[in-house]
Structure 1
Amino acid sequence: MIRWLLCVFLLLQTPTAPATAQTCGGDIPCKLDNREYNILLPDDWDGTSPLPVMMHFHAFLRRGKTVVNHPRIGIETRPRGVMLIAPTAQNRAWRFWQDDPADIDFADAVLADVAARYPVDQSQIYISGFSFGAAMAWRYACARGDRIAGLMTMSGTIPQATPCPNPPDQVRHVHGLKDIWMSLPRGPGHDATNAVALWRKTFRCGQGRITQHWLIRANTEATNIVWDQCSQGRKVTLDVHTGGHFIPEHWLGTQLDDLMARE
């Protein structure tokens, strides 16, 4: 009897597993060498079906945890069956200024690590980013375009003369005319369409066309411009609005619906 009570006592005293042993997800980052990233699984996933993925590069001084909790990012991926991946930059700042930044290799490693943990639909890997993260997303798309199904960026670009040896097929961008943090790169005559000149040139696009005008939010007008006469069926869209530096509500969801051919 005494021996049995001693066994029960020892079992009750056994410590629980440390936090580092928990499965990563949500606010708990996934560790990758000395770096980390966060993930957010979609609603109603059955646990076995291959998952479309959207990898989002965060803004300056943010981190992956910010992205998965952002009311205009994760809320758009969850109901669409898309897993959100949010890598964290070293010192919370992406190194996108040079043509071949080291963070491209880090992003590759993140995608490989995710694929080792979950079934990933390799034909549906989307890249997005906001502000500094948008510039990093452009760099990644220029280097790994054959691996991604679409690029969606907000309020951030790289120099429009940047060489793009391996572009994606589909690009979506939105930018504010009054953005003071990462100014819209205008062309001659203050041409706002210069914001996507890199893609239009790389894709050898024809004339663009305005498809609609609408309010992107209260007192902020937006114009949608589409270039769909490009080489190899490629497409570029640009939403220019009269506001500043922000992520428009539902913009990411709308682009995902278009890229994924969802109703």
Structure 2
Amino acid sequence: MLRLVLCALALLSLAPTLHAEMAAERCHLDVPCTLGERSYHVMEPDGWDGEAPLVVLMHFHGWARTGVHAQNSDRIGASTRRRSVLLVTPNGRRKTWDFWRAGSEDVGFADRVLADVLARYPVDAQQIYVSGYSYGAAMAWRYACESGDDLAALLAVAGSIDQRETCAEAPPVVRHVHGLSDTVMDFPMGPGGDSTYPVALWRARLGCAAGLGQGNWQLRSFLTFTRTSWACAKGAVTLDLHPGGHFVPHGWIGRQLDELMGRAPSYP
């Protein structure tokens, strides 16, 4: 489905006035864009001139939240605003997501969200990222599993699907962060205490070689990440672990965007 969306984008790029007219409808920030009975939110980056192609981050919110929460978060929305990234935040039915099994209607909904965004804004089709937190991270995994071939990357925070699943599609880059003390979306420890198991599905799907420890890194003095990366036949996988629980780490989303966009990493 996303491939068809990108074809539509190519056609729409020939008609910039259409982008301008649709964006002028001003569904943005806490005013939702409606798609039938469902909706999503969009937040433009600081200083955007209204014409330059935008990098897109579609972020799935956590349980009992809405897309507005991610916009207002200094760990998500603030990071996209500062990095010329358009933040797109779909709203889940009853503030949750259907990610448990293949064939989720929420995958189709997310495809329609992207199609609507591409009609409203000039988008860099090579830089469409998907992310999520908690249940939203599991939804981001599900979306990447079923509609991920044309994504640039998956950025998941503290949530995933069953590592034994087989995915029809996959983005070329996967980055996942999880707390070893997480008891909400429990840390998925592998057989024999394998702490790299949280990305086993993508390592298998992308044909990854042995992992390489990248050492520890920090954005804030109170939280240390331990990074392992895999070079893969079809892309790359990165896993950041920390000793904490269930939360979006300060600056993690922004750091991943910086690295993937070829920018000097910064905080916040």
- Common fold: TM-score over 0.5: yes
Describe how 1:91-106 pairs up with structure 2 within 5 A: 91-106=94-109
For 1:253, the equivalent position in structure 2 comes to 254
Q: Does 1:73 align with 2:105?
A: no
Is the partner of 1:56 in helix, strand or coil?
strand
Q: CA deviation at 1:118?
A: 1.1
CA distance in 2, matches of 1:219, 1:73: 19
Going from structure 1 to structure 2, the CA distance change for 1:183 and 1:216 (only over 3 Å counts) comes to farther
Letter in 2 for 1:211: Q
CA distance in 1, matches of 2:85, 2:219: 24
Is the partner of 2:227 in helix, strand or coil?
strand
Query: What per-residue deviation string (whole Å, max 9, x for no partner) do you get for residues 60-84 of structure 1?
Result: 0100111111110011111111100
Contact 1:216/1:241 (<8 A) preserved:
no
For 1:231, the equivalent position in structure 2 comes to 233
CA distance in 2, matches of 1:165, 1:35: 26
CA distance in 2, matches of 1:65, 1:83: 14
Contact 2:56/2:129 (<8 A) preserved:
yes
Q: CA deviation at 1:166?
A: 0.9
Give the aligned length.
241
Q: CA deviation at 1:96?
A: 0.3
Q: Does 1:153 align with 2:156?
A: yes
Q: Does 1:56 align with 2:77?
A: no
TM-score (norm 2): 0.87
* More RCO (CA 8 Å, sep 6+): 2
Is the partner of 1:147 in helix, strand or coil?
coil
Query: What per-residue deviation string (whole Å, max 9, x for no partner) do you get for residues 175-200 of structure 1?
Result: 00110000111111211100000011
Query: What per-residue deviation string (whole Å, max 9, x for no partner) do you get for residues 72-127 of structure 1?
Result: 00111111111000000000110001112100000011011111111111111000
Picking from 31, 35, 38, the partner of 2:34 is 31
CA distance in 2, matches of 1:52, 1:22: 21
Q: Does 1:82 align with 2:85?
A: yes
Query: What per-residue deviation string (whole Å, max 9, x for no partner) do you get for residues 121-175 of structure 1?
Result: 1111000000000000001011112221011000001000111111110000000
For 1:201, the equivalent position in structure 2 comes to 204
CA distance in 2, matches of 1:209, 1:156: 23
TM-score (norm 1): 0.88
Contact 2:42/2:86 (<8 A) preserved:
yes
Q: Which runs of 5+ in 1 are unaligned?
A: 1-20
Is the partner of 1:166 in helix, strand or coil?
coil
CA distance in 2, matches of 1:216, 1:250: 7
Q: CA deviation at 1:218?
A: 5.0
Contact 2:40/2:67 (<8 A) preserved:
yes
Aligned-residue CA RMSD (Å): 1.4
CA distance in 1, matches of 2:122, 2:141: 26
Is the partner of 2:196 in helix, strand or coil?
helix
Runs of 4 or more consecutive aligned structure 1 residues displaced over 3 Å after TM superposition: 214-221
For 2:118, the equivalent position in structure 1 comes to 115
CA distance in 1, matches of 2:97, 2:221: 32
Is the partner of 1:62 in helix, strand or coil?
coil
CA distance in 1, matches of 2:257, 2:103: 27
Q: Does 1:187 align with 2:190?
A: yes
Contact 2:230/2:236 (<8 A) preserved:
yes
Contact 1:217/1:248 (<8 A) preserved:
no
Contact 2:219/2:251 (<8 A) preserved:
no
* Larger of the two Rg values belongs to structure: 1
Q: Which runs of 5+ in 2 are unaligned?
A: 1-23
Is the partner of 1:142 in helix, strand or coil?
helix
Q: Does 1:162 align with 2:165?
A: yes
CA distance in 2, matches of 1:258, 1:138: 20
Contact 1:55/1:128 (<8 A) preserved:
yes
Letter in 1 for 2:193: H
